[in-house]
Amino acid sequence: MASFYVSLRAVRFAFLFMLCAASAAWADSVVVTGSGSVATKPFGRTPQGQLVTLHTLTNKNGMNVSIMDYGATIVKILAPDRHGKFDDVVLGFDKFSPYLRSTTYFGATIGRYGNRIAKGQFPIGKELYQLPCNNGPNSLHGGIRGFDKRMWKVEPVESDVPAVRFSRLSPDGEEGYPGNLFVSVTFSLNDDNELRISYEATTDKVTIINLTNHSYFNLAGSGTILNHVLTLHADAFTPVDDTLIPTGEIKKVADTPWDFLSPTPIGLHLKEVGGKPVGYDHNYVLNKGFFTDWSLAAEVVEPRSGRTLSVSTDQRGVQFYTGNFLDGTLTGAGGEVYRQYTGFCLETQHFPDSPNHDNFPSTVLTPGQTYKTSTVYAFGVK
């Protein structure tokens, strides 16, 4: 009889433990770090019933970055202007459900391969792999269900600054890519208002990889980005065909509408760039010192608010995109209607379609290697 009561108490304890754990999963929580905090709260559920959580990193200056575990996606970045007024400087949604319907990749972690692969095909050795074509004749941003449409596991991070890490196993054959790929991405925010995004991955089979973040920035917080002043530290870019696939040429930007070597309003030469729709959607070849991998890629100034953004990375390229396909059909955070040129992207990465161009840097990852890359988005005022 005594053992029966012991077992009954154990069952009751287990039930209460599970009930409390379930309640805790829905409760807001805050973890204080050395110079800030990480707050967690529920953000919604997937159609399969999985809980989606929002993790907000806040530094001592009050700047904060919110990232959800669906797509390891940046949902919001609150940054101050020259008068100390905070605005959301990335495009996104106030609720989770619009992310399920949107095809814009707002703030998402992109993989396995950011950008386009021609005809969805690439060779490794003598084997030709076929990916789903989800962008006209090409594969874009990892396929139909890339990393942006997957749930990521949240992992603890030992850090003196607010940080959160997401990880997932991309199984062999997912979206046509070979190899079991274990990948993680860590977001951290320091007191210099620098958001660092660090990626790491390993594989058990030769594969290709090109990870990036697809945040759309608007340093004014609303309106057009055409008056933002951009500097791109890139002497060359990779021209594209009518389907936005690189031709293989690496062309100098001098005396072209693609020249942002000195500070230039984004909209100044926009119409000369052409395209359908008109706008920038091009990979820039970053200037790299002979002995250094880390470099300043871009600087942006928004004259009215005084907000600035500088982008530093160890990557070889950056995709500059001016939100050409935004068409006014999406209403985002705060009721903002997202029209063409409402946001711009600076997606640090290797080159588009690299596996099909021998003259582009390799994106092959082999067993025993560790893929590591980082980018810092630093926010300031002037």
Query: Is the dihedral angle over the CA atoms 146, 152, 157, 163 positive or is it negative?
Result: positive
pLDDT of residue 244: 96
> What is each CA distance from 58 to 64, 185, 313, in whole angstroms?
4, 18, 23
- Please answer whether residues 53 and 68 qualify as being in contact, where contact means their C-beta atoms are separated by less than 8 angstroms: yes
The whole-angstrom separation of Cα 352 and Cα 344 is 18
The whole-angstrom separation of Cα 60 and Cα 37 is 9
Helix (H, G, I), strand (E, B) or coil at 148: helix
The whole-angstrom separation of Cα 373 and Cα 227 is 31
The whole-angstrom separation of Cα 258 and Cα 251 is 10
User: Which two structure tokens, joined as six digits, stand for 171?
Assistant: 């199984």
The whole-angstrom separation of Cα 266 and Cα 263 is 9
56: left (phi over 0), alpha (psi -120 to 50) or beta: beta
Residues acting as catalytic residues: 214, 347
Strands 345-349 and 317-321: antiparallel
The whole-angstrom separation of Cα 360 and Cα 45 is 41
Regions of the chain with pLDDT less than 50: 1-27
The whole-angstrom separation of Cα 207 and Cα 123 is 10
Q: Which residue has the tokens 């600035």?
A: 308
pLDDT tens, position by position, 191-245: 999 999 999 999 999 999 999 999 999 999 999 999 999 999 999 999 999 999 9
Q: Which residue has the tokens 């995004």?
A: 197
- Please answer whether residues 75 and 57 qualify as being in contact, where contact means their C-beta atoms are separated by less than 8 angstroms: no
Q: Which residue has the tokens 């990193």?
A: 57
- Please answer whether residues 152 and 142 qualify as being in contact, where contact means their C-beta atoms are separated by less than 8 angstroms: no
For residue 62, which phi and psi values (nearest 5 degrees)?
90, -5
pLDDT of residue 35: 75
The whole-angstrom separation of Cα 148 and Cα 100 is 10
Cβ within 8 Å of residue 256, ≥6 positions away: none
pLDDT of residue 380: 98
pLDDT of residue 12: 38
* DSSP H or E run through 186: strand 181-189
b/e for 313-323, b at 16 or more Cβ within 10 A?
A: bbbbbbbbbbb
Q: Which of 66, 2, 54, 5 is nearest to 25 (CA)?
A: 54
pLDDT of residue 290: 59
Q: Which domains does the chain have, with CATH numbers?
A: 29-381 (2.70.98.10)
Helix (H, G, I), strand (E, B) or coil at 147: helix
The distance from CA 135 to its chain's CA centroid, rounded to whole angstroms, is 19
